[in-house]
Each structure stands twice: as structure tokens, then as C-alpha cells.
Amino acid sequence: MLYYLYLATRNKIRMKKKAIILGATGLTGSHLLELLLEDPNYETVKVFTRRKLPNIHPKLEEHVIDLLELSNYADKFTADVVFCCIGTTKAKTPNKELYRAVDYGIPVEAAKLCKQNGINSFIVISALGANAKSKVFYNRLKGEMERDVLAQQIEHTQLLQPSLIVGDRDEKTMGEDLSKKIMKVIGFLIPARYKMIEGKTIAKAMVKMANEPAKETRVPSEKIKEIAKKIRKEEG
């Protein structure tokens, strides 16, 4: 909270901003929503979601829609910055065509709407190992998404590439549980970029990057943690 009071003091003459969040019901997106509602830099936080949120807040503007038809809501897709936290899993979405429609289609369509509506800041969660030429479906999909988002040439495009995202959520994944067990035993041997990262850490970094854009277009997991740590230092 002290960080946001600090921002309010430092930025008295700045215009209040409007943000859009895609994926606000997920692990990282829910943390991000809480942070933006507290952040004095923002006067409005628009959420495009497939189900109604429990949150009630004067800053919150909610649009319950089919995210696969995001292009139909171009007139409402106006803001200063867009945060895309969209992502599914193989367990939730075994159909590869639907998986692609979610993890590739929604972020790319959002980027096109940013370009169309003059939004010059787009921050999207991708993944470690994203590579459009990969033989691995997930890595290739994320790489293709990155490629086509960057093709829109939005002025401030930042692609976060976290490793395995963990945190408190309704359903745990097998990979998350297994990784936690491995980390307890040999975590000290694993390079920083491959270590698990909490959703709330990513959310904090996204807020920081929106207020102060990172120099890198692609931001790996260890750098995300560094950015989030800066907030803790500023909070004192």
C-alpha cells in the first residue's frame, strides 16, 4: 500500500489512467485486479471476463462477454494500457483448436484492438520457452502469439516469460504439485530462470512495468522477480 501512496505523491500532476484486464479471474489476473484498484494512477479498471466477478469497487467497469468474440466489443475496448493474463491448461482445454483460440487468439485479437484504438501499452503474459519454431505445441503456440502480437507494432509491448506459475488457486495442476516437491529437494541446483514464480509476483511486476516500461520487450522469469522486488524496496 505504501508503494501506491508513494506513486500518488510523485505523480500528482499526471493524468489518471484507464486499464483493461483480460483474464482477471485467473491466478495472476485476480492479483493484478486488486493492485490496480488500489493504485492511485488508475481511475478506471475495465475487466472483460466470461463470468461475473465478486468484486465491487467504484473504479471497476465489468464486461461479461465471450472472450473468443472480443472483436465484437471494439467500441468498449478503450484504455491507456491493456494487461493480458489469459491462459488455459491442457487439463482444462484438451482440444488443441480451442486451446489455440484461447492462448493465441485472444492475446493477438487484443493486440489488434490496441492498435486499432490507439492504445500504446500492451503487457501480456507469455511463457518461458516460447518459440514459434518449436516442435512442442505449447512453446510453439506461445511463440506464434508473441510474433503476431509484436507484428502490431504497439509502442510499448512487453511480453512476460515466466516459468511455472504457482500460488493459491481453486485447482492445482499436477505439474505445480510435482515441481514444488522437486524444489524442496534440489531447488538450490535449479537456475533462476527455471524456478517457480508466484502469480502475485508477476502481477506486481506488471503494474510496475505499466508505470515505468521495462527496456526489454521480452522479460524472463528472473527479471520479473527483480522488477517486483523494486516495489518492495520502494515500500520500505
Residue 99 or 15, more confident = 99
Give yes or no for residue 236 having a pLDDT over 80: no
Most confident range, picked from 53-57, 116-120, 215-219: 116-120
Grid cell locating 161: 516469460
Mean pLDDT of the 163-175 span: 70
Q: What is the pTM of this model?
A: 0.87
Distant-in-sequence, close-in-space partners of 84: CB < 8 Å, separation ≥ 6 = 22, 23, 106, 107, 110, 122, 123, 124, 125
Amino acid 195: pLDDT: 86
Amino acid 73: pLDDT: 97
231 by Cβ neighbours in 10 Å (0-12 / 13-18 / 19+) ranks as buried
Between 15-24, 149-158, 168-177, 201-210, the lowest mean confidence (pLDDT) is in 168-177
Kindly report the CATH class assigned to 2-170+197-235: alpha beta
In our burial notation (b when 16+ CB lie closer than 10 A, e otherwise), range 38-50 reads: ebebbebbbbbbe
State what percent of residues in the chain have pLDDT above 90: 70
Residue-range domain boundaries for the chain: 2-170+197-235
The confidence band for 114, taking pLDDT boundaries of 50, 70 and 90, is: very high
The pLDDT tens digits for 44-96 are 999 999 999 988 899 999 999 999 999 999 999 999 999 999 999 888 889 99
| d(C-alpha 60, C-alpha 56), whole Å | 7
CA atoms within 13 A on the CB side of 198: 10
Mean pLDDT of the 40-45 span: 96
Give yes or no for residue 6 having a pLDDT over 80: no
Catalytic residues: 138, 142
Amino acid 13: pLDDT: 47
Give yes or no for residue 234 having a pLDDT over 90: no
Mean pLDDT of the 157-182 span: 72
Amino acid 12: pLDDT: 47
| d(C-alpha 205, C-alpha 207), whole Å | 5
